[in-house]
Amino acid sequence: MRGMTIFRIGLWAVIALCAGAAISLYLGQGLGPDGEQAAYGTPFKLTDQNGAEITEAAFLGKPSAVFFGYTHCPDVCPTTMAELGGFQSQLAAEGKALNVVFVTVDPERDTAPLLKDYVSAVSPDVTAITGDPAGIAAMLKGWGVYAKRIGEGPDYLMDHTATTFLLDSKGRFSGTIAYGEDPKTAKEKLDRLATL
């Protein structure tokens, strides 16, 4: 009888230890060395629309809305960028900063000069990112973004994730805005983001 009691106590101790380790691992996911949530995505060195080097530091200092698309996109990208430009203007009028970033999923066609023309039609305050295909592919993978070329020839399309990623001023993931999301709901998310 005494042996069975010791066995039960030992078994419960092992279960408690395993549960504690599992909780610790779960809560520790995505944390930086200081115990805070780490910045989203992976480090990168790419090129902005002005031909200058840009890194993940571009997502620090103010909240960001990051969209992955391409300049030859017939519908989703221009619609999303127009909406983000509008939100950026509304927030600026309210004294709130928002960093809008357009990352190409089509670096073969989306050169820095082409991106500069594309985003300046939205707002002079939008940042665009391009670079070598391998660098862009690594960034897409680090963000969990899907992109696939559809068709052949110079007029091919790209199938891609149509979600806008929201990051706080420390570059940490804070939510998303879905393509076609109700504008009122999207604006509420951005208002909340501006306080982070």
Lookup: tokens for 40: 């989203």
73 is in an annotated binding site: yes
Count Cβ atoms below 10 Å from residue 191 Cβ, excluding itself: 14
Task: Give residues with Cβ within 8 angstroms of 51, minimum separation 6.
Answer: 112
3-state DSSP call for residue 189? Answer: helix
Give CA–CA dist 91/41, Å, rounded: 25
CB 80 within 8 A of CB 45: no
Give the chain's largest Cα–Cα span: 81
Report CA dihedral (94, 99, 105, 107) to the nearest 10 degrees.
130
User: HSE of 142 in the Cβ direction (CA atoms, 13 Å)?
Assistant: 16
DSSP assignment letter at 96: -
Would you say the C-alpha torsion 105, 110, 112, 115 has a positive or negative sign?
negative
Numbered residues of the known binding site for Cu cation: 73, 77, 160
Numbered residues of the known binding site: 73, 77, 160
